[in-house]
Amino acid sequence: MKPRVQFPLRIRDLEFGGGKPLFCIPIVPRDIPDLVVQAETARALNPELIEWRADFFSNPSASSLVGAATLLRNIAPEQALIFTLRAKSEGGAQELPQSDRRILIEAVLRSSMVDIVDLELANDNDFLHALMKTAQTCDMPVILAFHDFDRTLENEELLAKIESMRSQGANIAKIAVMPRTPEDVLRLLQVTACARRLYPNLPLITMSMGALGSITRVAGFLFGSDMSFALGKSGSAPGQIPMEDARKMVELLLRYSN
């Protein structure tokens, strides 16, 4: 599948790869009342994006998710919305058969209530290809993501993941890995700088997780990452920094790095 050639990638009022650091607050609601609280908390912090981790939603059905997406769209009309329904094996919150996941994701994409869909690279090819085709039909950019909550693969392996995302038609490539040493944290930033040079037109979201990696959530922008996850009410991965502190740090880092 061909990626869009447009660069920077424009999504609503945002530019992915345009130089301005983008912040995304993840929300992990279990039901509608929870979604209202978390979405309002997130919106009040004024992030550029909100990621809805729909795998935390209890008993998800196509209609309940489309209803929730519509509500989220109304609560946060100015934020770009990332829709993610991660499988349990990929770090998701609940076990859902692949066929159900496909139906749920397609329903939300077709509703046009979200702006970006996040899909795990580890999904099988048919599943991934079908959903990417739906996203293309809906003119919706796709994040292909690689997560590793245990370790940080070698630089070459991580770069191969990004190349695989690109060749499969990702509009945005995402890498989130766990460091075991300070050197692992630096390697994730090296991979970012290298990918930025190899693929100048591919927006990137990269991070080294956990407390050890938290520096990458603010310094990643200096090395080529375009977006960072920050904390609203509840985080979705270890090492996320509260929104206001993250913005303050990034603002200062960018001021002295240019």
With beta carbons less than 8 A apart as the criterion, state whether 74 and 43 touch: no
Residue 34 neighbours by CB under 8 Å, 6+ apart? none
User: Cα separation of 26 and 40, whole Å?
Assistant: 12
- Angle among Cα 147, 150, 151 to the nearest 5 degrees reads 85
Q: Which tokens in the block code for residue 105?
A: 């994701």
With beta carbons less than 8 A apart as the criterion, state whether 232 and 245 touch: no
Residue in 2, 88, 129, 147 annotated catalytic = 147
Smallest gap, in angstroms, from Cβ of residue 195 to a second copy? 12
Q: State yes or no: is 161 an active-site residue.
A: no
CA 12 → CA 30, 134, 212, distances in Å?
A: 27, 19, 34
- Kindly tell me which of 83 and 199 has the beta carbon lying closer to a second copy: 199
Size of the site for a second copy (CB under 8 A): 29
- Considering only 31-39, 53-61, 70-78, 245-253, which stretch makes contact with a second copy by CB under 8 A? 245-253
With beta carbons less than 8 A apart as the criterion, state whether 80 and 12 touch: yes
Smallest gap, in angstroms, from Cβ of residue 74 to a second copy? 33
Smallest gap, in angstroms, from Cβ of residue 246 to a second copy? 9
258 scored as a contact of a second copy (CB under 8 A): yes
Residues 123 to 182: which contact a second copy by CB under 8 A?
181-182
Smallest gap, in angstroms, from Cβ of residue 216 to a second copy? 10
Instruction: Name the residues that contact a second copy, by CB under 8 A.
Output: 181-183, 186, 189-190, 193-194, 211-212, 214-215, 217-219, 222-224, 239, 241, 245, 248-249, 252-253, 255-258
Indicate which residues carry an active-site annotation: 147, 174
